[in-house]
Every structure is written in C-alpha cells, then in structure tokens.
Chains A and B, each alone.
Chain A
C-alpha cells in the first residue's frame, strides 16, 4: 500500500488543516492551558491521519510496538527532546520499516519520515524538535508486515518555530559529525551499537525574525539525511524544519565487520554535505 506523500502535498497540509479547524474549540490556542490527554486526538491529527494512513488501523496503547517519550514541558520550544523506542528488535522476518514523526500544530507537521532497514538492529531514535504551540507529538511506525503502531505525547511549550536563531559559526554550516555514544571501545560486534549524527545547520524555519533587519529569515533546512554502514543502508530520513537547529539523530547500527559509518546530507538549497567515521570491530 502506498502511503508516502510528496513533500509538495505535505506542505499543503497545514493550510488545509487551518481551514479545517476554523471555528472549532477543541484545540487549545498556543500558550493557553488545556486538559488535553497524551492520547487525545486533534483536528490536525485527524486530517494528517487521513492523508497519511487513510483508514488503516493504528495500534496504540499497551499493544503498540512503539513508545514515545517527550517532556510535558520542555526547557525551550525550539529544542524539545524526543525519544522513540521500538519494542520490537529488527529481525529479518519482522522489523520497523518506516517511521513518521509529527507535531500536530506545527506549520509543517511532518517533522521526519524515516525509511529503516534491519541493519539498525533496533529502531530506537532520539532527536530534538521544534514545537510551535501546545501540541501533540506523535510517532507512527509501519512494520514489515504492514501493520501500523503509534504513540503520542502532549507537550506544553510554544514559539519553537520562531525562536531567535542561535548560530555563531556560519562557516561550519553543513559540517556533519558522527560519534559513537560509548566511544570506539563501545562497539559491540553483531549487536546494536549507539551512534549520533549531528549536522551543523541553522535549520531555519522561515518564521524567525532577523533582529537587526527586522526581516524574516528565509527557510533553509536539512531535508534529507542518509545513513549507511559498510555501504549498507541503515536508514534514510526525509526531514523538515520542525527538527531543531543543528539536527541531531541518535540511532543504532549493527557492526558486523570493520567499515565506514557514513552520513549523506542534503539541504533545502540543494547543498550536499557528508560525514564519516571509521568503525573497527575487534
């Protein structure tokens, strides 16, 4: 079943969503208190769900094979830590093959769409997102058997997409750094090993005001990230400006033998960057 929407179609979603929610009182206005529960729906989610998954069932609650952790209140709306844990190890028979990460009320709600292989060993990810107003953050995973699993958390924060940029070294834009969480000695042969990839990039949303010129900074963000190990694909990520500046992803991979961990990056100005890290297995 084909569920992948084109970027153009997805970018149209917020406009349709805004029209759809006009006059409805169910959603909270940013910054206002709500009694919203973590597993509640929202008008935006109803729309996204229909667009992305049509009427396919999504397993939620205790039976879901994915768990999302997001703080109820983050220190800053521009950098909300998000952790995704798969309850299912990546096996050859059954694995997480696709993952959607959404922020219902962001101007562009689909923050990331990951295409994942069994090579990651374990489909656990951590990143940071911009959250523009009180909103649900949601994850939906598609397993290789076609089943969908979802989890959501409500996050009370605002201003994430218009927060003043925090850049100090423009010459470093695009620098792509790969690290092993436990260092080179932490490599686990034939077992999931944790790594981080960070792209130094403003990930401008188009909603940030230049405090000097009083002009909006044009959008400029990382739109594609491809990770591989020993020339075997780990995952491809289609990204958006809902990911925080200096996009960082923590992920797993299974080192079977010595090889290069590589990241290929492309941004919205068609600039390409890359990073690599030699990994040895003893």
Chain B
C-alpha cells in the first residue's frame, strides 16, 4: 500500500478546500440551496442568460473534497491562455457541491421543476443516471437539450487536444 509522507498529509489537511473553476473562465457560480437535507442547484438563471447571450452551456459539477475535481480545475487553470478562446461560445456554469452529496440528495431545478439527480438524468436521456460521479460535465444548448453524451468524470479530457474534442462535440 502506498504511504503518504506525514508532512504531505498534514499539508493536505491544512489546505483550504478550493472547489472552483478558475476565475479566468468567468464561470457563473451556483451554490446549492436546501442544505443539509438536499443540495439543489437551480439552473434557471443560467439557462436564461445562455439564451440572452446565445451561448451553449458548459455545466461543471465539482466537489470541494474531490481530488479528481482539483485535478481538472488545475488542468483548466494551467491551460487557460490556450483554452479560454475556445470557450467563447459557452456559458460556463460552476455547480459547487461536496462528496457528501450523493445522487439521492442532489437535485437540479429548472424553473418550477426540481428533479433528483437520477430522474433529471433520465429526463434528458443521459446514461449517467445510474451513478453520480464527481466531477461531471454536461453540455447543453439553450433549450437545455444535451449536445452529446458525456463520460462519467473528466479523466478523458484533461489535455488541451482532448478538451478541444469535447468543445467540438466530437463523438
């Protein structure tokens, strides 16, 4: 079993949980409501803004205590200069959650309708309904129709060329 040096563990524990997409991408941040019983993310305003600005939605669900989320955020941060222009047609939405929030407690609201994670996923035909994975990304048009089936996690697009594949909707 791999052992972490004590100083590394201590520094990890002491580090603030920075759960956020890099500011360089000017994300629209959405914090959950309804805690602790549930974490509801309301996409209504994001959708309205995307329509106004005629942009697609790049919706990112990250958790404050998720190492894989930190890795993707760090990747975006390190490559911001190169990637940012390619996100120009996208409204980036940053849903800030935590690993304690699992599928049964995570809800997505659009207008008057709030659906639990699995039901929301089924309603949009997303295969990821059966399991919530942090981080998750959805790509929507302004009618909130998914632009393509996304993978669970972000591990398959953490290089610049692969992130660009995603933005080009390569399937």
Proximity bits, A155-168, B CB within 8 Å = 1, else 0: 01110000000100
Chain B: which residue is nearest A79 at the CB level? Answer: B127
Which of B17-25, B46-54, B58-66, B146-154 makes up part of the contact surface? B146-154
Whether the pair B161, A33 counts as a contact (CB closer than 8 A) is: yes
Instruction: Please determine whether B151 and A75 come into contact, CB atoms closer than 8 angstroms.
Output: yes
Q: Contact: A75 with B159, CB < 8 Å?
A: no
Cβ B150 vs Cβ A33 within 8 A = no
Establish whether residues B155 and A158, one from each chain, have CB atoms under 8 Å apart when the complex forms: yes
Q: Scoring B residues 150 to 171 as 1 if CB is less than 8 Å from chain A, else 0, what string do you get?
A: 1110011111011001000011
Q: Render A70-81 as a binary contact track against B, CB cut-off 8 A, 1 for contact.
A: 011111100100
Interface residue? A61 (CB, 8 A): no
Q: Does A91 touch B at the CB level, under 8 Å?
A: no
**Cα distance A79–B152 when bound, in Å?**
12
CB nearest neighbor in B for A155 = B156
Contact A156 B156 (CB under 8 A): yes
Indicate whether B141 reaches chain A with its CB closer than 8 angstroms: no
Beta-carbon contacts of A51-94 to B below 8 Å, as 1s and 0s? 00000000000000000000111111001000000000000000
Q: Is the CB of A75 within 8 A of B126?
A: yes
The interface size bin for chain B is 10 to 19
Number of interface residues of A (CB under 8 A): 14
Min distance, Cβ B43 to any Cβ of chain A, angstroms: 20
Partner of B127, one of A31, A35, A76: A76
- In the assembled complex, which residues on chain B have CB atoms less than 8 Å from the CB atom of A73? 149-151, 156-157, 171
Contact A166 B151 (CB under 8 A): no
Instruction: Identify which of B155, B158, B159, B171 contacts A71 (C-beta below 8 A).
Output: B171
What's the Cα separation between A33 and B149 when bound, in Å?
19
B128 in contact (CB, < 8 A):
yes
Chain B residues with CB under 8 Å of A35's CB are: 161
Whether B152 contacts A75 by the Cβ 8 Å rule is yes
Please give, as numbers and ranges, the residues of chain B lying within 8 Å of A166 by CB-CB distance.
Answer: 130
CB of B79 within 8 Å of the partner chain: no
Q: Does B78 contact A (CB under 8 A)?
A: no
Q: Which of A31, A33, A72, A76 contacts B152 (CB 8 A)?
A: A76
Q: Which residues from chain A contact B156 at a C-beta distance below 8 Å?
A: 31, 73, 156-158
Residues 123-175 (chain A) with a chain B CB within 8 angstroms = 156-158, 166
Interface residues of B in 109-138 (CB under 8 A from A): 126-128, 130-131
> Are A33 and B131 in touch, CB under 8 angstroms?
no
Cα–Cα distance between A166 and B131 once the two chains are bound (Å): 10
Question: Taking the nearest CB of chain B, how far is it from the CB of A169, in angstroms?
Answer: 15
Most buried by A among B150, B156, B159: B156
Alpha-carbon distance A156/B127, docked complex (angstroms): 16
Please tell me if the beta carbons of A72 and B161 are within 8 angstroms of each other in the complex: no
Taking the nearest CB of chain B, how far is it from the CB of A164, in angstroms? 9
Find out whether the CB atom of B127 lies under 8 angstroms from the CB atom of A75: yes
Nearest-Cβ distance from residue A163 to partner chain B, whole angstroms: 9
User: In the complex, A31→B150 CA distance in Å?
Assistant: 16
**List of 9 A-B pairs having minimum Cβ-Cβ separation, nearest first:** A75-B127, A33-B159, A73-B151, A156-B156, A75-B128, A73-B156, A33-B162, A72-B171, A76-B152
Q: List 10 A-B contacts (CB under 8 A).
A: A31-B156, A33-B158, A33-B162, A71-B171, A73-B156, A73-B171, A74-B151, A75-B150, A75-B151, A76-B130
User: Using a CB–CB distance below 8 Å, which chain B residues touch chain A?
Assistant: 126-128, 130-131, 149-152, 155-159, 161-162, 165, 170-171
Q: Other CB < 8 Å A-B pairs besides A71-B171, A72-B170, A76-B152, 4 of them?
A: A73-B150, A73-B157, A74-B151, A75-B149
